[in-house]
Amino acid sequence: MSALLRIPTVLRPAMGGEASITVEGPTIGAILSQVTSRYPAVKGQLLNADGTLHRFLNVYVNDDDVRYLGGLDAPVADSDEITLLPAVAGGAW
Amino acid sequence: MTRYASVLDLIGQTPIVDVSALSPKPNVTILAKLEGRNPAGSVKDRVALSLIDAAETDGLLVPGKPDQILIEPSSGNTGIALAMVCRLRGYHLKVVLPSNVSPERRQLLLAWGAEIIDSPGSEGSNGAVRLAQRLSSEHPEWIFLYQYANPNNPLAHYRTTGPEILNDVPEITHFVAGLGTSGTLMGVGRYLKEHRPGTQVWAIEPPSGEMVDGLRNLDDGYIPPIFTDNHGAEMLDRKVVVRPKESIEWTRRMTEVGLFVGISSGAIMAGAVKCALLVPDDQTATIVTIACDDGWKYLSTGAWSDDIDEVVERAKKIIYF
């Protein structure tokens, strides 16, 4: 079982310069924990000291924000696409 | 025919039209509220009038006093709406605008007499917000209404857009709108949650974080204070990213129901369709979406005429949300 993790430009220097990597795990929490052990330098960019998601990091499973799907407990299925995006000012519509 | 004393009296009371011909499921009705019918052309007319009225009530702005200057970051629609209201009320508006907005937005701002201050296009709306904050601190005599943090932004929607929607669509089950300043979602969302508990509120956003290269690290991120102040994370039921290609595809499909709308409206419709697909077959649902503006300001993107992949590449470089 594996999923594709898309990495935004701002995080690439701390994650081997890759635009995407293959990851495995049943939940977003498990996957982020795997990513932070592979790339320790990115830990502070992904998670707060208490282990919760960084305030300015949005994580999506197939374009759905995981904060509304159970947060770190959000389930990940085979072939899912996970996208990390920094929170920035939206446009003014 | 009704007679109005001022163009400002034409703001709001926009029509809602059934676009269920585009619904993927027969048991789900989708309705679009046409905010392009506002006099300066977008949902932001409501916000602009609310911000200026409140500033006058609070004495920040004094009607009739000469040389009053406002500064505001905007990727377009708020700037255009504020420029129109300022023109009528006699204030000078400086709009901090990312250099990569569509040329029509720039032209409209100039048409309404606003002054444009360019911010780096590569920094997106984040860069415009930062520059406006810096300039306003250097010029404390300028009035900075700051739409991203001003409670009168969501209040405009709590007082007008929300009640209009519930009045016209009392059976609403889902409200789907775009997440920019979060003013529409927070204002309408709070109104609906209070007056029709159980209504689901969905936010649709562009993948803009991918394109902003002014970020050095995540700590440079930005969440609109309005979102935090209104407990947005608890208010929303779902938040979905819609990619540029889907946005353009659905902007085109809106013409099938006679609607020539802006690209963000196409993105929101794409989100409404995702929402409809999750409704079980044995249930009915009524989704209300916002069509933020009409398509005129986006003609230069070739959104309706050119090869879709070329348009998508162009759309990645142009701020349309």
Contact A63 B73 (CB under 8 A): no
Place of tokens 């779902």: B238
Instruction: Please indicate if any CB of chain B lies within 8 Å of the CB of A56.
Output: yes
Phi then psi dihedrals of residue B202, to 5 deg: -115, 135
B7-37+161-317 and B44-144, same CATH topology: yes
Q: What pLDDT is stored for residue B320 in this prediction?
A: 64
Q: What pLDDT is stored for residue B43 in this prediction?
A: 97
Q: What pLDDT is stored for residue B29 in this prediction?
A: 98
Give the residue with greater pLDDT, B122 vs A26: A26
Residue A55 lies in a domain: yes
pLDDT at B268 > cutoff 70: yes
- Rounded mean pLDDT of A20-25? 95
pLDDT band (50, 70, 90) for residue A93: very low
Nearest-Cα distance to chain B for A40, in Å, is 15
Assigned CATH topology for domain B44-144 = Rossmann fold (3.40.50)
Contact A45 B320 (CB under 8 A): no
Reported as a single tens digit per residue, the pLDDT across A40-59 is 999 999 999 899 999 999 99
CATH number of B7-37+161-317: 3.40.50.1100
Residue A92 lies in a domain: no
Contact B215 A55 (CB under 8 A): no
- Whose CA is closest to B260, among B284, B301, B293, B234? B293
Q: What pLDDT is stored for residue A92 in this prediction?
A: 40
- Whose CA is closest to B29, among B273, B311, B253, B230? B273
User: Quick check: is B74 catalytic?
Assistant: no
Q: Where are the domains of chain B?
A: 7-37+161-317, 44-144
Place of tokens 């009296």: B9
Reported as a single tens digit per residue, the pLDDT across B75-94 is 889 999 999 999 999 999 99
pLDDT band (50, 70, 90) for residue B313: confident
Pairing of the two strands B28-34 and B69-73: unpaired
pLDDT at A91 > cutoff 60: no
Number of domains making up chain A: 1
- Rounded mean pLDDT of B115-124? 92
Q: What pLDDT is stored for residue B204 in this prediction?
A: 95
Q: Compute chain B's Rg from CA coordinates.
A: 19
Mean pLDDT over all residues of chain A? 92
Residue A11 lies in a domain: yes
pLDDT at B214 > cutoff 70: no
User: Domain range for residue A48?
Assistant: 3-86
Residue A93 lies in a domain: no
User: Quick check: is B264 catalytic?
Assistant: yes
Nearest-Cα distance to chain A for B219, in Å, is 7
Query: How many residue pairs from chains A and B have C-beta atoms closer than 8 A?
Result: 122
Instruction: Please indicate if any CB of chain A lies within 8 Å of the CB of B144.
Output: no
Nearest-Cα distance to chain A for B265, in Å, is 10
Q: What pLDDT is stored for residue B314 in this prediction?
A: 80
Residue A63 lies in a domain: yes
CA-nearest residue to A47 within chain B is B218
Q: Which residues of A touch B220 (CB under 8 A)?
A: 56, 86
Question: What is the CATH number for A45?
Answer: 3.10.20.30
Tokens of B125: 């709306």
Instruction: Please indicate if any CB of chain A lies within 8 Å of the CB of B264.
Output: yes
Residue A49 lies in a domain: yes
The number of residues in chain A equals 93
Give the residue with greater pLDDT, B320 vs B75: B75
